[in-house]
Structure 1
Amino acid sequence: MKTIDGRPYATRAELSARAGYKGDATLRALWAERESNGHPPARRIDRALFWDLEVWERWFTEYRRQGNGVDYSGNADEELPPAGQAKVLGINASAISHYRDNPPPGWPGPAREERLESGRVREYRTRRQLWEYADSGPRAGVAGRTPAEGADPKVALAVEALAAEPGRKAGETAAALAEQYGGGLSTWKRAVTEARRQG
């Protein structure tokens, strides 16, 4: 990080870390498509690119919200049962049930619990909790991003995954990506195939 004219500026690697990505492939793809996605301009300092951190974070939050499938309407403090939580997040209701035993990173604890006649416990979360979870970074259950024209963030994520574990089989990599980011296994298999072709 650098301070320029009293404002914090960050490199692509620093922005990637703040956004929750393991590498910078996704942000490289977004930068390459800046004319179509409105990515903020950079300043070149000693052969490195730097972005105004506050400007970039505002843009990235809005960019992620545009295609993340989340419903931001309604009363923020309304407590929702699992089916309502799934609807807000734009994911399958079975994912919410799965999160009870295997919560993804950042998944909020329940606002309250209700014991059903069957003995099972129904967990309620507020819309605000769900919105904060959706805005916190890449999330399970849905890719969370709309692919920019030309550059597919899924392929960029597959490139990162292959680089992190080069000995892993393509099918295992695709399954891990589907589990981490959501979406169909066949979609991730295509992304891994394309990432291998590019690599």
Structure 2
Amino acid sequence: MARRTIDGRTALDRSGVAAHLRVAYTTVNNWHRHRTRFGFPDGFTYDGAEWFWLNDIDRFHTAHLKAKRAELTKVDRRGRPDDLVGSGTAAKILGYRSYRNLPDTLYNQPDRIQQLADGRVRRLWFRRTVWAVADARTGRQSTGRTPGTTGARKPHPYADDPRLQAALALLTEVGTSGQNRRGLGVELARRLGVGERTAQRLLTQARLVADGPPDNTPQATAPPTGTAHPTPTAHTATARSRRMPGQPGARP
């Protein structure tokens, strides 16, 4: 039971709150556990169950989203919308210190690509594209697993990614031909149509897969040839031979 009418008003239980706001159940639990910090409304008990008024939940969520947006970096709106900018300028527009902080939704989808003389590529975006990405931000990710993502743990993020096979094939191709491995990220990015950072991550994982997991199993060490471990009988006999005269069991 997720929703019911009580005294003419709509009430939700925790499952109902998660479904209504389209968040994970664990996120609702986190909001409730830290309701003083988040401002999550107090519930009430009815028929032995915990409920929350729908109107209170809607007011909370509106305020919560507004607070998250307030935490975002300030966007630089100066310049003409059709100006092309590089990754460094795009980062400054979004208020980031480095281009490494650019979101993948922007970095992997440039408006223009400029091929440099050394084989690298330069990504360019219109200012309006950067502004659109900034306006689509919603703030920091809420605590809790996204609905529907619970499942078996993968050995690595690219376990089921077909692009990993392309990265492995490229490494094999270069290793067989004896080519220089420099610029592999650019080549893989070109073949797959992805960003260079994504290609580098794929290559890193492909190398780990190709090398295989390290064998840390301890190996038993055999004693040197001709060395025999003393048997319990021999050990007992030796102990008896060391007893002092006058002790029980000592030889006269």
Q: What is the TM-score normalised by the length of structure 2?
A: 0.39
Determine which structure has the larger helix proportion and give its number: 1
Q: What is the TM-score normalised by the length of structure 1?
A: 0.46
Q: Which has the higher contact order (CA 8 A, sep 6+)?
A: 1
